[in-house]
Structure 1
Amino acid sequence: MFACSPVGSDTTVTEVDRENWLCRVKVGELETNWINWLTLRAGGARTWWCPSSDEQVVVLSMGGNLETAFVLPAIYSNQFAPPSDSVYGCVTEYPDGGWFEYEPATGRWHVRGIKSMVIEAADNITLKTGEFVVEADTTRINSEVVINGGVTQGGGAMSSNGVVMDKHGHTGVKSGGDTSGGPV
């Protein structure tokens, strides 16, 4: 028979041992020894998301014996309220302001508040969309580039190997069907 801590009581994480995947929990006036917390997956596919100090949780144990207890995260509290009230959306908010949201009502995936993003793929990354917009102070591509389709450039200079394409002259210009010399 399992027993659980009273829901709504002062049952909060007091310490976390990330190296050993354990935490201690205050249950009323008592504090547990180091106990495991439950996770979504712990087999061939695994997830990691350790509880944080002061996070409200539920403690489950065999027959009420805290020596057999484990932690079921998590319960919203006044200190840690839900980051959204969407009916079907999925939102994850991080302590540094990072925000990941998918809202089925709009079909929008929104990521904000992060400092950098790295996506690594061994073989290929394909983006398929009607329009692809990049807004950045600088865009840098460190590879060969193949463009299959037209290119329209505007709103600034285009240069190649130090030569501005729309503001340079050529040497050896002749009339007729002759070929001019290189750019200057």
Structure 2
Amino acid sequence: MSYAGTDTDRRLGNVISIGRIKAVDPAKGLAQVDMDGPDTDWIPWATARAGGDRTYWCPEVGEQVVVAAPSGELGNAVIIGCLFQDAHPEPADSADTHRTVYADGTVVEYDRAAHAMKIDVSASSGTVTVICKTATVQASESVTIDTPETTCTGNLTVAKSLTMGGGGGSVNITGPVAINGPTLTHNGKEVGSTHTHSGVQSGGSSTGAPN
């Protein structure tokens, strides 16, 4: 067999290869791949966007990847994708589900059939932070906040009715209270600025209950 033929076969065999990540350099965006033979040099991994809009997702050691080498030269190789394996199988089994599972158990999922979006960080006891100038949540039916403690650090405006009750809760207010409205009732009795009392007389006696 001629050297030219051997070199051609080698190049063709290297055009598309499958290997596993051996090491990563997160700061430089490079990785080394174990090709079940000679390891690659430090090579880049492909990303969804790399211009003014950019995405970053560093592969992990042991992750199975697809390597493309233009002209079959591994020195010019690029990691172009990843493949599931027994140790890290598919995180979903539905064609309608877009699901990302992180190593700490966090899940980000959208189910187009159910029209449902879910962000679940409960497995990692993590937090979700949204930072912006203005945030708007529009729900055509209802919004539920299910938590034992809710804190609002600024002003709170309620445009319509406010209903409180259940669980034996109470209201604690620190600071001045101003109520502007035509009526103020307590257990069906008017106790606002225009209410009257029965049994009023001068002296040290107390008034009767509100009328």
Q: In the aligned structure 1, how far is the partner of 2:96 from the partner of 2:22?
A: 32
Q: Which runs of 4+ in 1 moved over 3 A?
A: none
Alignment of 1:161-176 (within 5 A): 161=174, 175=197
Alignment of 1:29-48 (within 5 A): 29-48=37-56
Equivalent position SS for 2:69? strand
Residue of structure 2 aligned with 1:52, choices 60, 78, 91 = 60
Q: Which has the higher strand share?
A: 1
Identity of aligned residues (%): 27
Q: Is the 8 A contact 1:23 1:36 kept in 2?
A: yes
Code of the aligned partner of 2:76 = T
Structure of higher CA gyration radius: 2
Alignment of 1:70-89 (within 5 A): 70-89=78-97
Q: Which residue of 1 aligns with 2:145?
A: 134
**Mind listing any 5+ residue stretches in structure 2 that lack a counterpart?**
1-11, 177-185, 201-206
Q: Which residue of 2 aligns with 1:102?
A: 110
Residue of structure 2 aligned with 1:19, choices 13, 20, 27 = 27
Q: In the aligned structure 1, how far is the partner of 2:157 from the partner of 2:70?
A: 63
Q: Which residue of 2 aligns with 1:92?
A: 100
TM-score by length of 2: 0.73
Code of the aligned partner of 1:107 = H
Code of the aligned partner of 1:77 = Q
Mapped pair 1:143 → 2:154: yes
Summarize deviations over 1:131-165 as a string: whole Å, max 9, x none. Answer: 010011100000001110000000211121189xx
Q: In the aligned structure 2, how far is the partner of 1:149 from the partner of 1:75?
A: 53
Q: Is the 8 A contact 2:92 2:99 kept in 1?
A: yes
Q: Following TM superposition, by how much is the alpha carbon of 1:3 offset from its aligned partner in structure 2, in angstroms?
A: 1.0
Q: In the aligned structure 2, how far is the partner of 1:33 from the partner of 1:74?
A: 18
Summarize deviations over 1:25-44 as a string: whole Å, max 9, x none. Answer: 01122201100000000001
Summarize deviations over 1:10-34 as a string: whole Å, max 9, x none. Answer: x100101001110000112220110
Q: In the aligned structure 2, how far is the partner of 1:113 from the partner of 1:148?
A: 32
Q: Which moved more, 1:29-38 or 1:107-116?
A: 107-116
TM-score by length of 1: 0.83
Q: Is the 8 A contact 1:88 1:104 kept in 2?
A: yes
The CA RMSD over aligned residues, in Å, is 2.4
Code of the aligned partner of 1:148 = A
Q: Is the 8 A contact 1:51 1:73 kept in 2?
A: no
Q: Which residue of 2 aligns with 1:159?
A: 172
Q: In the aligned structure 2, how far is the partner of 1:19 from the partner of 1:95?
A: 20
Code of the aligned partner of 1:125 = A
Code of the aligned partner of 2:127 = S
Residue of structure 2 aligned with 1:125, choices 135, 146, 156 = 135
Q: Is the 8 A contact 1:40 1:47 kept in 2?
A: yes
Q: Following TM superposition, by how much is the alpha carbon of 1:113 offset from its aligned partner in structure 2, in angstroms?
A: 2.7
